[in-house]
Amino acid sequence: MTLVYLYAVAPAAAGEWLATNDVRGIEGERVRPVRTRAVVGAVSDVPAREFDQEPLDRNVADSAWLAPHAAAHQDVNAALLDGVGSVLPLAFGTIFRGESGVERVLREREGELAAALATVAGRVEWVCTLDRDLKIAAAYLARTRAAGAAAGAGEGRSYLLRRKAEVESVEEQRALDREARAEFRDALTAVADELTDEPLIEGGPAARCTVLLARDGEDALRRAAMRFAARWSERGYDPRLAGPWPPYRYGARVSALRE
């Protein structure tokens, strides 16, 4: 028994493109179009023994199984982006019992999906991370404190400043993070069409953002990152850019497509 796997929604032009290009997806199956008037669903068949709900729930917890299947999912979306210039990538594991279910959902949501595709047309996604070296940042803060201490008078004054610095060091680092994060966001916002802040974890990067950017905007993005680095690398903050990707973050805003 087979099920139908929905990779993405694309504009109507993707129907002819998929019909005339040999795009392969999960298990090497050819990706084909399911068409409505305004949008196209890119689908292929997948085996129920692996993709029905119960086995799928088990399999996504197995990294050895998930990695090649997720890579195939990404490859299809990348091919659609290159081929037709606009795509809404869907979450991994969007499964239907048959093409009729895909077509019905696409027709019900056609207006919403077409509007979302118009928004991302000609645009790609970049993940922009602000890495932080705590040792370099601490050394920068120490230099700043030392300069302040030198302006004081007497040993007693210097001692009090050192004690105050020890007590306030954590807050100083947080303040430096906030300043770096704000300037990093400003640098990205100046060149991106849209920016989304991603959740941060303790001990992780100082900032992580997803930006929606014109496909020809990579040079501007890299220049903005270099200008930021010129000011902040000596303080321990360095930007890292990953992309371009199909706009997964924007696709995630389309509420789940279900049969």
CA-CA distance, 173 to 88, in Å (whole number)?
Answer: 39
CA-CA distance, 186 to 59, in Å (whole number)?
Answer: 41
For the stretch 157-187, what's the b/e string if a residue is b when 16 or more beta carbons lie within 10 angstroms of its beta carbon?
eeeebeeebeeeeeebbeebbeebbebbbeb
Do the beta carbons of residue 236 and residue 205 sit within 8 Å? no
CA nearest to 9, candidates 98, 66, 97, 84: 84
- pLDDT above 50 (res 161): yes
CA-CA distance, 110 to 37, in Å (whole number)?
Answer: 8
Q: Which regions of the chain does DSSP assign to beta strands (E)? A: 2-11, 32-35, 39-47, 88-89, 95-96, 123-132, 194-197, 207-214, 237-245
Residue 102: C-alpha distances to residues 90, 107, 115, 174 (Å): 13, 9, 18, 48
pTM: 0.83
What the block records as the tokens of 252 is: 């995630």
**Does residue 258 sit in helix, strand or coil?**
coil
CA-CA distance, 159 to 166, in Å (whole number)?
Answer: 11
Q: What is the pLDDT of residues 163-209, one digit of tens each?
A: 665 666 778 888 999 999 999 999 999 999 999 999 988 889 999 99
pLDDT of residue 149: 54
Least confident of 18-22, 98-102, 148-152, 215-219: 148-152
pLDDT of residue 153: 45
**Does residue 136 sit in helix, strand or coil?**
helix
What is the residue-averaged pLDDT of the chain? 90
State the amino acid at position 23 in one-letter form. Answer: V
| Distance from chain centroid for Cα 195 | 10
What the block records as the tokens of 245 is: 């990707």
**Does residue 11 sit in helix, strand or coil?**
strand
What the block records as the tokens of 188 is: 């990205």
- Name the packing angle between helices 155-189 and 218-232 (round to 10°): 180
Better pLDDT: 200 or 240: 240
